[in-house]
């Protein structure tokens, strides 16, 4: 049985996935794991010029009830970035997608109940 923290994490990921889909992203995978590394969402964003293809986007979702301690996106520290990069490399290798244009985004959720604010940080960091 999932813990309350796991349930909140899954709810936040669902909110972020819906948010991204409304903006044209296609969610390919949720909670991709490689060893001890995890990526919350892996999405594809088609390019406006069809012939360019698009970008593969590795997304970390962070949700905080308030920002009195720190903003949600601040929780994506160097250690988390390195784990995301490791998981992304494994995903690209497993799917034979090496060389695919990709980036790392963060979706920050702040608040609770009906009072949620979402902020999308595109290219939040680079590998």
**What are the structural domain ranges in the chain?**
4-125
Is residue 123 scored above 80 in pLDDT?
Answer: yes
CATH architecture of 4-125: 3-Layer(aba) Sandwich (3.40)
Is residue 2 scored above 80 in pLDDT?
Answer: no
pTM, full prediction? 0.92
pLDDT in tens, 44-73: 998 877 667 889 999 999 998 887 778 889
Most confident region among 17-31, 58-72, 99-113 by mean pLDDT = 17-31
3-state secondary structure the chain: CCCHHHHHHHHHHHHHHHHHHCCCCEEEEEEEEECCEEEEEEEEEECCCHHHCEEEEEEEEEEECCCCCCCHHHHCCHHHHHHHHHHHHHHHHHCCCCCCCEEEEEEEEEEECCEEEEEEEEEEECC
For 119, the token pair is 């902020």
Q: Look over the chain and give the mean of its residue pLDDT values, rounded to a whole number.
A: 91
Q: What is the mean pLDDT of residues 69-91?
A: 92
pLDDT of 112 reads: 85
């Amino acid at each position: 049985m999932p813990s309350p923290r796991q349930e909140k994490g899954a709810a936040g990921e669902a909110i972020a996935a819906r948010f991204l889909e409304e903006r044209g992203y296609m969610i390919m995978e949720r909670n991709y794991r490689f060893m001890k590394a995890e990526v919350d969402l892996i999405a594809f964003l088609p390019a406006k010029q069809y012939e360019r293809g698009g970008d593969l986007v590795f997304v970390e979702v962070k949700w905080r009830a308030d920002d009195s301690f720190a903003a949600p996106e601040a929780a994506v520290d160097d250690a988390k970035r390195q784990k995301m990069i490791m998981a992304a490399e494994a995903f690209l290798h497993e799917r034979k997608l090496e060389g695919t244009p990709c980036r790392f985004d963060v979706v920050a959720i702040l608040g609770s109940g009906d009072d949620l604010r979402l902020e999308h940080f595109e290219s939040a960091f680079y590998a």
